[in-house]
Structure 1
Amino acid sequence: MRFGYTIIYVASVAHTLAFYETAFGFKTRFLHDSGEYGELETGSTTLAFASLELAEANFHGACAPVKPDALPPGIELAFVTEDVAQSYQTAVDAGATPVHPPVEKPWGQTIAYVRSLEGTLIELCTPVGG
């Protein structure tokens, strides 16, 4: 078995893909003609987005959508970068909500947090040990 996908259900897949391109530099790999599903180029694990309508069809109300005006769920996406401060500023300039500015942790890793337009909690961090 291997970890293949993280899928976030959002109001607008195309809008979300465009935001992640601008804020974090990922390129769109795929957007289905229906607009219901799309993926980003992120490396070996796929970051994907699907519509709230698809969530409803799959889960019949048993899935709470991520919302920018509510507390984020107890999960984050971590994007590794060599320049956390610049990545943080780029994300905020693109419309991400600042959560915590860059700080160096005792183990030497620099981290910062933002929330994306749809409300997902994003950690921007240097490699562990880097």
Structure 2
Amino acid sequence: MASEAMSPAFAYTVVYVKGVAKSAAFYSATFGYTVRHLDQPIKAHDQKMWAELESGATTIAFTPLHQRETDALTGAVQLPESAGERGPVEICFDYADVDAEYRRAVDSGAVPVSALEQKNWGQTVGYVRDIDGIIVRMGSHVRA
């Protein structure tokens, strides 16, 4: 009898950013997350190399766009070449009061991409860009 394979737990989303501390502070102020961990700066770079947000069962983490370990192992991070392009990943957050949270995000420095809009499946959705140009989808909870 073959044993059933367990699905792996989704542990981290790592976001490559220009400034780790700045991005962690931005996500805390803009989207309501608490910074769980922020590395001390590495003296040679005077830049923090890792931050994590308190985000439930999975972790949202930040690391510099370019770092020796990641670039050497998996290649350099490729950024969009213009404001009309976006990266291959979108971050999505759902809120009980998406109207208030969308306003807070924009007031905190997120750049509006599209205003909140009611979708035909019952969800209200809007899009903003973070300080690194990453698209963040903000939505209401979908009711079954």
Q: How many residues align?
A: 129
| Aligned 8 A contact 1:67 1:119 in 2 | no
How far did residue 66 of structure 1 move? 6.4
Structure 1: which 4+ aligned runs deviate by more than 6 Å?
none
- For normalisation by structure 2, the TM-score amounts to 0.81
Contact 1:84 1:124 (C-alpha < 8 Å) held by counterparts:
yes
Is the Cα contact below 8 Å between 1:68 and 1:115 reproduced in 2?
A: no
Identity of aligned residues (%): 36
CA distance in 1, matches of 2:62, 2:80: 12
Deviation at 1:72, TM superposition (A): 1.4
Could you tell me whether the CA contact under 8 Å between 2:93 and 2:137 is conserved in 1? yes
5+ residue gaps, structure 2, are: 1-7, 42-47
Distance 1:49 1:65, change over 3 A: farther
Change (3 A) 1:117 1:76: same
State the Cα distance separating 1:128 from its structure 2 match: 1.9
Match of residue 69 from structure 2 = 57
Q: Which consecutive unaligned segments of at least 5 residues does structure 1 have?
A: none
Higher relative contact order (CA 8 A, sep 6+): 1
Contact 1:10 1:52 in 2 (8 A): yes
RMSD: 1.9
